[in-house]
């Protein structure tokens, strides 16, 4: 049968490629014409190891096509963003728009899968929205006999940078509105998943996904709080953590300049939004991690005071090592905060994985993008913001005589 994937981003495109390279006829759908054009030509509009080969191969085999119009299909996977609004409440507009695209294509017998990370109850909302748009069909939330359309949630859990490996090897949770819905959805993932496929109900699956990312956020917040405490006590946090981690049941994560990306900095808020009174630790972890970029910027500004007209090199803009993803990146917020605090300051930014400054920084006339070596050579103060391999391999002698602020412990 044919499968349509709505959203050709970091999750939709790898999933499309994984299914298509295993012989499924996949139609990728995206509202962005540039994305559709790229994919139709077998190209990938972002950096992810091994994805390009899979996409160009699938397109060449004729298994993967791309379009802006949702076609008829036997199964639909929704892989669109779920951002939050200013008040941290989830914005379901893209999921809603996807269901509006799918509804007219239903004839009965299809499976609709929500992959986008969503608050508990969203998959049921998808079923309800479809039912409102298609009163001629029965949907599983209404529990009136056998539904015409099956609806399930299968949250993604791949790590950017390792997507093509983890997509295949990770266990998957599939939560159906009914057990039959879960079975239907699982049969699709069995095509490429080698890990276990664990069946459950939709709301538990939605919550489990949020819990995974909140768990990591809380643990990173612990490490980030330790970095503040250690700074206050004039201790080396990396040394403290190295020692503590020799305990057999202790595994403290790595402090950094803050938590970025489109998952860990976002998903815990969906739990807080669903149960605000009860989510005290999870909310505090968010606050600790969100406070870290401000702290780093303040420290850099304080270091600037030792110089007359200092030049600052900021290394890295991505939200983490070896990816080109700038979404919710603490590094960008830090550079912007420094530029705002010191309007005349000469700031050189190095990001080997991008060629243009993001909009937020392009607005500052004194911030410019340069190769790392040039930026370091010109700098009095070097701030390491992302632990890219590229920076790790730089010769340490380039840093001689400069004030170095290594937020990732890369050069320890
Ligand atoms: N970070 C630290 N210290 C650490 C680990 C991470 O400061 O010890 C920072 C990173 O630099 C980055 C942020 O946290 O800014 C998040 O990075 P990450 O590598 O922990 O996670 P993501 O956002 O790339 O991917 C996560 C993963 N979730 C978990 O590990 C529980 C991934 O499996 C999910 O699929 C993904 O979120 C998602 O899409 O939800």
Mean pLDDT of all residues in 45-69: 95
Q: Is residue 248 part of a domain?
A: no
Catalytic residue, from 154, 181, 184, 209: name it.
209
- The answer to the question of residue 270 being in a domain is no
Probe ligand 1: pick from 155, 195, 220, max atoms within 8 Å of CB?
Answer: 220
List % helix, strand, coil for the chain (3-state, nearest 5): 45, 15, 45
Closest residue (by CA) to atom 35 of ligand 1?
Answer: 157
CA of 132 to the centre of ligand 1 (A): 37
Examine the domain organization and report whether 198 and 296 are in the same domain: no
* C-alpha to C-alpha distance for 34 and 44, rounded to whole angstroms: 11
CA of 260 to the centre of ligand 1 (A): 8
pLDDT on residue 341? 95
Query: Are 310 and 204 contained in the same domain?
Result: no
Q: Do 201 and 304 have their domain in common?
A: no
Per-residue pLDDT, averaged over 190-215, amounts to 98
pLDDT in tens, 117-145: 999 999 999 999 999 999 999 999 997 78
* Cα 180 from Cα 127, distance rounded (Å): 14
Q: In this structure, are 30 and 161 located in the same domain?
A: yes
Supply the residue whose CA is at minimum distance from atom 7 of ligand 1.
Answer: 256
173 part of a folded domain: yes
Nearest CA owner, ligand 1 atom 25:
159
Q: From the CA of 264, how far away is ligand 1's center (Å)?
A: 6
Supply the pLDDT for residue 47.
86
pLDDT value for 143: 74
List the catalytic residue out of 154, 263, 304, 314: 263
Indicate the pTM of the whole model: 0.94
Structure tokens at 349: 């930014």
Same-domain pairing of 187 and 296: no
Q: Is residue 411 part of a domain?
A: no
Residue that is last in its domain, among 186, 210, 234: 210
> Looking only at Cα atoms, what is the longest distance across the chain?
77
Residues 310 and 179 in one domain: no
Annotated catalytic, 263? Answer: yes
Range of the domain at 112: 2-210
Locate the ligand 1 atom nearest the alpha carbon of residue 166 and give its number: 33
| Secondary structure (DSSP) of 148-201 | SSEEEE----PPTTSHHHHHHHS-EEEEESSHHHHHHHHHHHTTT--S-EEEEE
Q: What is the per-residue pLDDT for 119?
A: 96
Q: Both 170 and 299 in a single domain?
A: no
Both tokens of 28, joined, read 């990728």
Q: Are residues 299 and 177 in the same domain?
A: no
Q: What is the pLDDT of residue 258?
A: 98
What's the pLDDT score for residue 150? 98
Domain annotation covers residue 111: yes
Q: What is the mean pLDDT of residues 214-228?
A: 98
- The residue among 210, 227, 251 that closes a domain is 210
User: What's the CA-to-centroid distance between 113 and ligand 1, angstroms?
Assistant: 24
Q: Of 210, 225, 260, which closes a domain?
A: 210
Tell me the C-alpha distance between 97 and 72, whole Å.
16
pLDDT of residue 46: 87
Q: pLDDT tier at 346 (50, 70, 90 boundaries)? A: very high
Residues 38 and 187 in one domain: yes
Look at residue 412 in the predicted model and tell me its pLDDT.
87
Query: 324 lies in a domain?
Result: yes
Ligand 1 first shell, C-beta below 6 A: 117, 156-160, 212-213, 216, 220, 223, 253-254, 256, 259-261, 263-264, 319-320
pLDDT in tens, 379-409: 999 999 999 999 999 989 999 999 999 999 9
CA of 253, closest atom in ligand 1: 8
Q: How many domains does the structure of the chain reveal? A: 2
pLDDT digits (tens, 9 = 90+) for 275-328: 999 999 999 999 999 999 999 999 999 999 999 999 999 999 999 999 888 988
On average, the pLDDT of the chain sits at: 96
Question: Are residues 64 and 190 located together in one domain of the fold?
Answer: yes
Q: How far apart are alpha carbons 32 and 384 in whole angstroms?
A: 34
- Nearest one of 57, 78, 208 to 152, comparing CA atoms: 78
Q: Is residue 83 part of a domain?
A: yes
Residue 204 DSSP label = H
CATH number of the domain bearing residue 342: 3.40.50.720
DSSP letters for 45-103: SS--TTHHHHHHHHHHTT-EEEESS----SEEEE-----B-TTS-B--HHHHHHHHHHG
Q: Which atom of ligand 1 is nearest to the CA of 387?
A: 11
Q: Is 402 a catalytic residue?
A: no
Q: Residue 261 C-alpha to ligand 1 middle, in angstroms?
A: 7
In a domain, 267, yes or no: no
Give residue 208's pLDDT. Answer: 98
The tens digit of pLDDT for each residue in 145-191 reads 899 999 999 999 999 999 999 999 999 999 999 999 999 999 999 99
């Amino acid at each position: 049968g044919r499968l349509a994937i709505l959203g050709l981003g970091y999750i939709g495109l790898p999933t499309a490629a994984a299914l298509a390279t295993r012989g499924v006829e996949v139609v990728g759908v995206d509202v962005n014409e540039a994305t559709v054009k790229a994919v139709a030509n077998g190209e990938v509009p972002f950096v992810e190891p091994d994805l390009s080969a899979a996409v160009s191969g699938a397109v060449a085999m004729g298994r993967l096509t791309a379009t802006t119009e949702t076609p008829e299909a036997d199964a639909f996977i929704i892989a669109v963003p779920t951002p939050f609004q200013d008040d941290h409440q989830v914005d379901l507009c893209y999921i809603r728009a996807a269901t509006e695209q799918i509804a007219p294509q239903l004839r009965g017998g299809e499976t609709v899968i929500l992959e986008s990370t969503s608050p508990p109850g969203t998959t049921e909302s998808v079923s309800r929205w479809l039912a409102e748009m298609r009163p001629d069909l029965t949907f599983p939330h209404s529990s009136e006999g056998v539904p015409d359309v099956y609806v399930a949630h299968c949250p993604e859990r791949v790590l950017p940078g390792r997507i093509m490996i983890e997509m295949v090897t990770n266990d998957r949770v599939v939560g159906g509105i009914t057990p039959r819905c879960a079975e239907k959805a699982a049969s699709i993932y069995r095509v490429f998943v080698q890990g276990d496929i664990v069946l459950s109900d939709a709301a538990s699956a939605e919550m489990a996904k949020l819990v995974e990312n909140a768990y990591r956020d809380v643990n990173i917040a612990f490490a980030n709080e330790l970095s503040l405490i250690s700074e206050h006590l004039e201790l080396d946090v990396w040394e403290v953590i190295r020692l503590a981690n020799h305990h057999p049941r202790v595994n403290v994560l790595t402090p950094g300049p803050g938590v970025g990306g489109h998952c860990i900095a976002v998903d815990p808020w969906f739990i807080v939004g669903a149960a605000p009174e009860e989510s005290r630790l999870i909310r505090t972890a968010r606050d600790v991690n969100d406070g870290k970029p401000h702290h780093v910027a303040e420290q850099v500004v304080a270091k600037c005071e030792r110089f007359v007209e200092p030049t600052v090199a900021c290394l890295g803009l991505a939200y983490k090592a070896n990816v080109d993803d700038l979404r919710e990146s603490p590094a960008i917020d830090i550079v912007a905060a420094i530029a705002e605090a010191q309007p005349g300051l000469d700031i050189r930014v190095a990001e080997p994985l991008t060629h243009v400054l993001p909009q937020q920084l392009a607005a500052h006339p004194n911030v410019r993008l340069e190769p790392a070596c040039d930026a370091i050579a010109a700098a009095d103060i070097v701030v390491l913001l992302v632990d890219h391999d590229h920076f790790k391999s730089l010769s340490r002698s380039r840093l001689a005589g400069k004030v170095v602020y290594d937020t990732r412990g890369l050069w320890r």
